[in-house]
């Protein structure tokens, strides 16, 4: 029987496209799906002369793979991953490799890593970003697991990954759940930037009265500036789309009740565990939650009115600077979380490498990531991107415009929590003394929790009454 280089379980759009991508780069590949039509579609999508085979039974699929076998799972996160592992395990041998390519929660990956290690099976959690197009033509991939076993995967992954300046957007990130953790934070940053873009759109439309065509033109032009990024680019395309039925712009016809799959929430929850402040991501999660209260919001819009202040304004350049400021601070927050998580969980993350593999293929790819890569190359132990000289000076130069745009949102009654959180994070981080001394005193007053002083060593308790 033909022996294939790599196998994937789950031949949906992502699984099929990744295998065809591998075949384009000269690898022989096999796929497993219980749906005969999907297995057949994989083979039909291959070019003449490519070694691509679809299977519908696990036994034949596993036996067709070169040893040590390399198998990726592309099934929904949670119990389906455990079920897939359970069905494969009796067929696997020592040193075989199983890669979970879904958005699994990192503690689940840590558990699976330990369980399979006892059976001498190597387990990888690998985040994949770029959607179906990225899978077919070059995604960003974030693998974590055993460093030595990664050498079996590296030639394939480096071949199929997106390339920036000839460098593949994939690298070994660290042991255990490092890959899934980095992808989780990637998705949290994605939440934050999407919310910032949505707020900028709202300020333009409701606050400044820009026409749909003007807003589209602005977003399209921004993608040729320092804001160049996948999410800004697709926003310009979204604003251009007309509805097939009505001929009107499609965007206003789309429901404002946003959905999510939980990765942003995981980012916020774990950031709180690590005491890593990520307020822009927190606000992005909050806004998706509040969007679901549609009936209540409609009722409140009639009962809780605000007339708005007419004597405030902002230019397109101010909006551009505000959005860029928000984006940079969001990346900074995510990178701080990665740094603290690496220390807490022993991942050994290299943040320059993380910035490098995010430059292409992934949803949060942006021109500014090259600046981040350079910043971490200069200072690998950089505590916060805002402390890099060039990045910090850029933020300082743009802060006046952020404050003006926030004024417009406040005076017009437009919710802009992510933009406000970005500014508050900046202001809090640059404060040499915060008002949290009041909180220290309050805690001691009602709970005798004690406090520290600035004029002497030790902890103290005061008799407040």
191 annotated ligand-binding residue: yes
Strand partners for 140: 129
The answer to whether 279 touches 333, Cβ cutoff 8 Å, is: yes
261 annotated ligand-binding residue: yes
- Joined tokens for residue 79: 């119990």
339 annotated ligand-binding residue: no
331 annotated ligand-binding residue: no
Question: Is 190 annotated in the active site?
Answer: yes
The active-site residue, picked from 110, 190, 199, 353, is 190
361 annotated ligand-binding residue: no
461 annotated ligand-binding residue: no
The answer to whether 30 touches 66, Cβ cutoff 8 Å, is: no
187 annotated ligand-binding residue: yes
Query: In angstroms, rounded to a whole number, what is the distance separating the alpha carbons of residues 201 and 207?
Result: 9
The answer to whether 148 touches 363, Cβ cutoff 8 Å, is: no
What is the per-residue DSSP string for 103-115?
---HHHHHHHHHH
Sorted by sequence, the CB contacts under 8 Å of residue 33 that are 6+ apart come out as: 9, 10, 11, 15, 39, 42, 54, 55, 56
The active-site residue, picked from 38, 183, 265, 412, is 183
| CA atoms 52, 57, 62, 63: torsion sign | negative
Q: 348 — phi, psi (to 5°)?
A: 70, 40
Of residues 105, 161, 155, 106, the one with CA closest to residue 130: 161
Question: Is 265 annotated in the active site?
Answer: no
288 annotated ligand-binding residue: yes
67 annotated ligand-binding residue: no
Sorted by sequence, the CB contacts under 8 Å of residue 447 that are 6+ apart come out as: none
Q: What is the largest CA-CA distance in the chain?
A: 86
Neighbour tally for 427: CB within 10 Å: 12
Residues placed in the known binding site for substrate: 103, 129-131, 186-187, 191, 261, 288, 443, 449
Residues placed in the known binding site: 103, 129-131, 186-187, 191, 261, 288, 443, 449
Which are the catalytic amino acids?
183, 190
């Amino acid at each position: 029987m033909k022996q294939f280089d790599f196998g994937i379980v789950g031949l949906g759009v992502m699984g099929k496209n990744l295998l065809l991508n591998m075949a384009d780069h000269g690898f022989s590949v096999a796929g497993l799906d219980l749906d005969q039509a999907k297995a057949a579609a994989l083979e039909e999508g291959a070019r003449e002369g490519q070694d691509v085979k679809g299977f519908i039974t696990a036994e034949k699929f596993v036996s067709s793979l070169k040893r040590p076998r390399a198998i990726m799972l592309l099934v929904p996160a949670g119990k389906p991953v455990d079920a897939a592992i359970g069905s494969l395990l009796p067929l696997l041998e020592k040193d075989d490799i199983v890669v979970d390519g879904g958005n699994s929660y990192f503690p689940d990956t840590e558990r699976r890593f330990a369980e399979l290690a006892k059976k001498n099976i190597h387990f990888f959690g690998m985040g994949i970003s770029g959607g179906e197009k990225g899978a077919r033509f070059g995604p960003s991939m974030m693998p974590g697991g055993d460093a030595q076993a990664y050498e079996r995967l590296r030639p394939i992954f480096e071949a199929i990954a997106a390339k920036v300046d000839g460098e593949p957007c994939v690298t070994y990130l660290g042991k255990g759940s490092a890959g899934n953790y980095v992808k989780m934070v990637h998705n949290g940053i994605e939440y934050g930037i999407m919310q910032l873009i949505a707020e900028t759109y709202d300020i333009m439309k409701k606050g400044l009265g820009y026409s749909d065509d003007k807003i589209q033109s602005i977003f399209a032009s921004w993608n040729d500036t320092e804001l160049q990024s996948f999410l800004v680019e697709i926003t310009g395309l979204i604003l251009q789309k007309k509805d097939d039925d009505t001929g009107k712009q499609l965007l206003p016809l789309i429901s404002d009740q946003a959905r999510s799959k939980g990765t942003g929430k995981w980012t916020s929850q774990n950031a709180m565990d690590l005491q890593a402040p990520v307020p822009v991501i927190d606000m992005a999660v909050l806004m998706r939650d509040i969007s679901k209260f549609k009936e209540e919001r409609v009722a409140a819009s009639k009962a809780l009115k605000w007339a708005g202040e007419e004597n405030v304004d902002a230019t397109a350049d101010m909006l551009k600077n505000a959005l860029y400021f928000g984006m940079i601070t969001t990346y900074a927050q995510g990178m701080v979380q990665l740094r603290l998580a690496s220390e807490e969980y022993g991942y050994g993350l290299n943040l320059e490498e993380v910035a490098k593999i995010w430059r292409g293929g992934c949803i949060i790819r942006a021109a500014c990531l090259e600046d981040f890569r350079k910043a971490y190359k200069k200072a690998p132990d950089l505590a916060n991107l805002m402390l890099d000289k060039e990045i910090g000076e850029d933020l300082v130069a743009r802060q006046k415009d952020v404050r003006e745009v926030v004024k417009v949102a406040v005076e017009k009654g437009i919710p802009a929590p992510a933009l406000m959180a970005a500014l508050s994070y900046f202001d809090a981080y640059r404060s040499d003394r915060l008002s949290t001394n009041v909180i220290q005193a309050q805690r001691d007053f009602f709970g005798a929790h004690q406090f520290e002083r600035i004029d002497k060593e030790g902890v103290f308790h005061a008799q407040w009454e």
